A and B are shown apart, each in its own frame.
Chain A
């Protein structure tokens, strides 16, 4: 059984600070790793993809992957109230099988 674990939160971060979200996964042969943002009542929106060990930056977002530790993280710099949402970590194989999702971390950015 493939598992993806996330702290459900809520994680409360002051506006302008760095929000750090973490995720671990069980399937060692996973090849692709994603972070989705989901606002209440909306569908998941892809914000970051990462495929190899190390860091990947896109604007205020940085994804970090450590395959040896089976660990993925997302950093959000200069957090804004609009970043308040649930963040879903998703892990996938190299092929067309579906993604395995964590249950999500609820992030609250306090003005």
Chain B
């Protein structure tokens, strides 16, 4: 039982490049989330998927797209990376009691 896994762990991009962050969970949770964490800003919600087939914007969705591929997998795509997207990205999944469990994170630097 691996919980929530994320790939890659680290990534460096140049401005304008694209990439997809992958997330998978093996806890049979319906809801999954993408957050970013920046110094002094705390964790902020980018997008979430309440159930397979649905996605919704969070607090900071601009510059990102998501895909809920199936119940296990929820990916986050940066189409044209900007330095402002340098951050640590966390994926999480949610229990029926609204408890969220986080993956190990992806540390992204955009030059």
Q: Which residues of chain A are near B42, meaning CB under 8 Å?
A: 88, 101-104
Q: What's the tally of chain A residues with a CB closer than 8 Å to chain B?
A: 25
Residues of chain A having any CB pair with chain B under 8 Å: 31-32, 34, 42-46, 49, 51, 88, 90, 92-104
Task: Contact check, B33 vs A98: say whether CB atoms are below 8 A apart.
Answer: yes
Tell yes or no: B28 within 8 A of A by CB. no
Q: Report the separation of the CA atoms of residues A99 and B44 in the bound assembly, to the nearest whole angstrom.
A: 9
CB distance from B101 to the nearest CB of A (A): 6
Task: Contact check, B102 vs A43: say whether CB atoms are below 8 A apart.
Answer: yes
CB distance from B24 to the nearest CB of A (A): 15
Task: Contact check, A98 vs B41: say whether CB atoms are below 8 A apart.
Answer: no
Q: Type the 1/0 row for B22-41, where 1 means its CB is closer than 8 Å to any CB of A.
A: 00000000110101000011
Of A31, A43, A44, the contact of B98 (CB 8 Å cutoff): A31
Residue of A nearest to B42 (CB): A103
Task: Contact check, A98 vs B99: say whether CB atoms are below 8 A apart.
Answer: no
Q: Report the separation of the CA atoms of residues A98 and B91 in the bound assembly, to the nearest whole angstrom.
A: 11
Q: Which residues of chain A are near B94, meaning CB under 8 Å?
A: 96
Offer 22 A-B interface pairs, CB within 8 angstroms, sorted by A. A31-B98, A32-B97, A42-B105, A44-B43, A44-B90, A46-B99, A49-B97, A49-B99, A90-B43, A90-B100, A92-B98, A93-B98, A95-B50, A97-B48, A97-B56, A98-B48, A98-B100, A99-B100, A101-B35, A101-B43, A103-B41, A104-B42
